[in-house]
Amino acid sequence: MTDMRRTILWVVFTASLFLLWDAWNKHNGRPSFFAPAAPRPVAAGSAPAGVPSATGGPASIAAATPAAGASAPVASETVVVKTDVVQATLDSQGGDLVRLELLKHADDANPKQPLVLFDRSAHRQYIAQSGLVTKQAGSTLPNHLTPMKLLPGDATLKDGSNAVTVAFESPPVNGVTLKKTYTFRRGDYTIGVKHEVNNGSAAPVQPELYLQLVRDGTVPPTSMFMAPTAFTGPALYTDDKHFQKVEFADIEKRKAGAEPSHVTKADNGWIAMVQHYFNTAWIVPQKGEREFRTTKVGDNLYSVAMVLPLGSVAPGATAASEATLFAGPQEENKLQALAPGLELVKDYGYFAVLAKPLFWLLDKLHAVIGNWGWAIVALVVLLKIAFYWLNASAYRSMAKMKAINPRVMELRERYKDKPQQMQQEMMRIYREEKVNPIGGCLPILVQMPFFIALYWVLLSTVEMRNAPWIGWITDLSAKDPLYILPVLMTLSTLFQTWLNPTPADPVQAKMMWIMPLLFSVFFFFFPAGLVLYWLTNNILGIAQQWFINKQLGVK
């Protein structure tokens, strides 16, 4: 029975570590043990040709040329907008946002450079687009391939100013012009985007505004062990269907004309493109009819779009629509305040029901302590207090097992040729001493979901990124550069093993010491924040087990 208890614990422990490691690899582009490798990078080229059509599928526009009815083309140019938190590059072709650097967040590969979220380069395609379509047969309106004119204005956020605006205006397309105005605010990752449609034709038009995010399906790979965890791909939300993720693979496999698995129509909601730690989202908070589309627009290139009818615009009239483009870190509290359900882009896996309150508590502790590393330590202390009596029950069971271990060893030697009688005598000793051989198993199994939930919290929380603890630990989301925490964690695990009862079986006894060493290899590549959590948990567990052993007189 003792061996059975120990075997169950090792199996659970091994499976948990392997699944966490595999999930950690899978979500940052490394090959999963259970799934194929990520798709290849997208080739560089002109703006993606997929524009949501008013009738359903993507309207294919072959080249970046003015639409029918447009006046003479305007030469394409880019403008760079800089605030205290972002540096954005806008292209006058369609007024697209084609590059966005997050100045407060360092690049993984080069910490001296800011992280690039939006990009249009030889290695990546990730841009925000918008434009007009219409159901009126034979009519074309300004879209994201229409060359626009950059209107005069300063593109740099000045000292003392809280906002900077940049505007583009299209030439008339069938008499209709589109003015697109971006508003960047100090200290803010939300960008106000206003679309103004002016009908200069002689007949009414029924324009529909599309807001679109286009991204390649490739996630930049990191080393085999250092892959973060989070869903990568399009997502959308409505009050009725709530949060829905759409895998790139599902879009790829969808046959032409087939209905997508996600919601397609609602009178509310938003769209997003999600990745580890960061996301982008088009948000229109006002209720109104809208359509959601996900489409493959090129080789390893996908889009998620929201289409909103603007009603009938009479000749000489103007219609306006305001939207918010969020592009930044997944700071849960800020996302929650920005739009209903937007905080759900932060991926907690299957343990969200436990992970969310754990993050709430961790966030409150950080607000008091001011350091994420010490907040992790404080959280472990609180969890240990909460589970004190449950752990005490397990440690008492193990202490009693250790106390009677000499008698069990003697029985094994005496009845080594009579296994049935040996089992009967062992059960008699357990009854006399009121010992449950698997009594130490249940408390650990009960706490395992909390450990896994906290794993997701630590690995999904962008606040941990580049967050220092003490001395050599300058990034709790990265592995310990000096491997001090993993070494201490290994030593603490071996010390815990020494406190436990020694198996009677010599092979089991050897494995009892070998297994912690083998499992410790994982922790040399796990984030420092996670290793800190486990090390603190080990130290407090050792203290509690030592105290109980002394209480029961177990040497």
| Per-residue pLDDT tens digits for 84-98 | 999 999 999 999 999
Contact 490, 419 (CB under 8 A): no
394 pLDDT higher than 50? yes
Which domain range does residue 256 map to? 76-346
Element (H, E) at 105: strand 96-106
Asked whether residue 327 falls in the same domain as residue 373, the answer is no
Pick the more confident residue, 323 or 49: 323
Asked whether residue 368 falls in the same domain as residue 311, the answer is no
- pLDDT, residue 58, reads 36
53 pLDDT higher than 60? no
Contact 205, 199 (CB under 8 A): yes
Contact 226, 479 (CB under 8 A): yes
Question: Would residue 402 count as lying in a domain?
Answer: yes
Pick the more confident residue, 112 or 20: 112
Contact 126, 214 (CB under 8 A): yes
Q: Which of 346, 367, 394 is the endpoint of a domain?
A: 346
Asked whether residue 376 falls in the same domain as residue 296, the answer is no
- For residues 376 and 486, give the distance between their C-alpha atoms in angstroms, rounded to a whole number: 16
Tokens of 185: 């605010």
- pLDDT, residue 223, reads 38
Closest CA to 4 of 369, 440, 381, 546: 440
CA-CA distances (angstroms) from residue 352 to 241, 356, 445, 457? 18, 6, 18, 9
Question: Would residue 294 count as lying in a domain?
Answer: yes
Mean pLDDT of all residues in the chain?
A: 81
- pLDDT, residue 320, reads 96
Amino acid at 319: A
Mean pLDDT of 401-414: 73
Asked whether residue 328 falls in the same domain as residue 363, the answer is no
- pLDDT, residue 309, reads 96
Asked whether residue 20 falls in the same domain as residue 125, the answer is no
- For residues 82 and 78, give the distance between their C-alpha atoms in angstroms, rounded to a whole number: 13
Asked whether residue 253 falls in the same domain as residue 362, the answer is no
| DSSP at 1 | -
- Cα angle: 72, vertex 77, 80; to 5 degrees: 150
Contact 145, 51 (CB under 8 A): yes
Give per-residue pLDDT as tens, 411-462.
Answer: 777 777 777 777 777 777 777 776 666 555 666 677 778 878 888 888 889 9
Question: Would residue 71 count as lying in a domain?
Answer: no
Tokens of 148: 């626009």
Asked whether residue 16 falls in the same domain as residue 151, the answer is no
Pick the more confident residue, 242 or 231: 242
- pLDDT, residue 507, reads 62
Asked whether residue 537 falls in the same domain as residue 476, the answer is yes
- pLDDT, residue 262, reads 93
Helix/strand/coil percentages in the chain, nearest 5: 35, 25, 40
59 pLDDT higher than 70? no
DSSP code per residue over 306-345? EEEE---B-TT-EEEEEEEEEEEE--HHHHHHHSTTGGGG
Tokens of 383: 């969890």
CATH number of residue 139's parent domain: 2.70.98.90
Question: Would residue 541 count as lying in a domain?
Answer: yes
- pLDDT, residue 519, reads 73
- pLDDT, residue 36, reads 40
Q: Which of 328, 346, 364 is the endpoint of a domain?
A: 346
Q: Whole-angstrom distance between the N-terminal and C-terminal Cα of the chain?
A: 22
Q: Is 55 exposed, middle or buried (0-12, 13-18, 19+ CB in 10 A)?
A: exposed
- pLDDT, residue 517, reads 75
- For residues 496 and 537, give the distance between their C-alpha atoms in angstroms, rounded to a whole number: 11
- pLDDT, residue 327, reads 97
Determine the longest span between alpha carbons in the chain, in angstroms: 105
Contact 47, 145 (CB under 8 A): yes
This model's pTM is above 0.85: no
Question: Would residue 33 count as lying in a domain?
Answer: no
- For residues 449 and 453, give the distance between their C-alpha atoms in angstroms, rounded to a whole number: 6
339 pLDDT higher than 70? yes
| DSSP at 147 | B
Q: Which of 312, 346, 380 is the endpoint of a domain?
A: 346
Question: Would residue 511 count as lying in a domain?
Answer: yes
Mean pLDDT of 214-224: 69
> What total of structural domains would you count in the chain?
2
Asked whether residue 154 falls in the same domain as residue 238, the answer is yes
207 pLDDT higher than 60? yes
